[in-house]
Amino acid sequence: MESFVHSLVKAVPVLSGVPMWTLTLTAMILSAAVLLVFALTFGGVGSYVLRKVAGDIQARIGPNRVGPNGILQFLADGVKLVLKEDIIPAKADRFLFALAPYFVFVGSFAAFVVLPFGVGLIASDLNIGVYYVMAVTSLVVVGVLLAGWASNNKWALLGGMRAAAQIVSYEIPVGMALMPAVLIAGSLSLQDIVRSQGGLLGVFGWNLFHNPFTFFSFFLYFTAAQAETNQTPFDLPEAESELVSGYNVEYSGIRFGFFFLAEFGDMFVVAALATACFLGGWHIPFLHAEALPAFWGNLLSLGAFLAKAFALVLVMMWIRWTLPRLRVDQLMRMAWKYLVPLTFVNLLGVSLWLLIFKGKGIPQMIASLFG
């Protein structure tokens, strides 16, 4: 953020007389506002796309009444949620019941701060970016548990307990699957991880193709992240057939909307992390975006990043409407008996590869042979 403010002062000399703390605070507020608008827009449009994808897969039409081809359906849904009565059950813990949705939403929204959307499009390039994302998204566990317990509903409590167990369990393979990208870049900063995947190799410079272990890491991460964000077939905390919607069963109106937005925000964060750590982030194949003028470099890199992330979100939606829901015991067995051991073995393999081949990947070694 400070580097952005300094570059802004150089570009607009009139601002040199303004105190630096004022400019930094203003830039932080504007960044938060832009990210909030993006998160809300993505949540709305994402809900429309989700229902259209579901309609196509199930041979239905999907939303087609509000606006051209139903495109304004998400606005109608938003207005409905805002205008609906906010009901709090008589025997619920009113304070915690009201607080829980905000924990869930903040835990999802705060992760957007360190996502590298483009060459210079990042709200805060933290040197512990990966750890930061895993830390703030843990707030979702607190919010879901509070929602389940404070509702004073046995189905909500079961859903909250399931969600806490599931998220805590799958955080381990998610973190371990991201570590190979950290080892290759030598940094926890997501912007540094993206920059380490550039070069003349194009697509083959991505961590996905660095070595066999990183290729495997991508699929381990994507599977574990799908479970951590409660996406089908791992949506046991929200199983309508068992728990009548689970931890959010007693919520209505805008508080239910916060759970809804957080779910779509988590989908984007998962896809954005996969893009940054394995798919080259904002890099455009065979085009050096950092060498372009600032405006075009940021615009094209933003387009590349969003295209990759949205493609992964579509894959998540496709999986959601294709696979059946697992049982609880199958869900936990997959985490502790399969994904956790596999991610540890995979991390050991990446470490040995980097040690033996001095950090070079398969594409770099092939390029050196013919170079």
Q: What's the chain's length in residues?
A: 371
pLDDT tier for residue 254 given thresholds of 50, 70 and 90: confident
pLDDT tier for residue 3 given thresholds of 50, 70 and 90: low
pLDDT at 108: 85
More confident residue, 194 or 242: 194
User: Which of the residue ranges 153-157, 174-178, 363-367 would you say has the lowest mean pLDDT?
Assistant: 363-367
Q: Give me the chain's average pLDDT, please.
A: 85
pLDDT of 65 higher than 60: yes
Considering 83-92, 171-180, 245-254, 279-288, the range whose residues carry the highest mean pLDDT is 171-180
pLDDT at 205: 84
Tokens of 234: 């791992």
Instruction: Enter the pTM of the model.
Output: 0.89
pLDDT at 22: 73
pLDDT tier for residue 15 given thresholds of 50, 70 and 90: low
Cα of 351 vs its chain's centroid, Å: 26
pLDDT at 351: 93
pLDDT at 7: 55
Mean pLDDT of 287-315: 87
Contacts for 125 with CB less than 8 Å, ≥ 6 apart? 114, 116, 189, 190, 191
More confident residue, 37 or 310: 310
Cβ neighbours, 10 Å, residue 49: 18
pLDDT at 348: 94
pLDDT at 270: 92
pLDDT tier for residue 213 given thresholds of 50, 70 and 90: very high
What's the CA gap between 347 and 181, in Å, rounded? 10
What's the CA gap between 228 and 319, in Å, rounded? 15
3-state helix, strand, coil in the chain (%, to 5): 75, 0, 25
pLDDT tier for residue 13 given thresholds of 50, 70 and 90: low
The closest alpha carbon to 105, from 132, 137, 78, 79, belongs to 137
Mean pLDDT of 215-233: 88
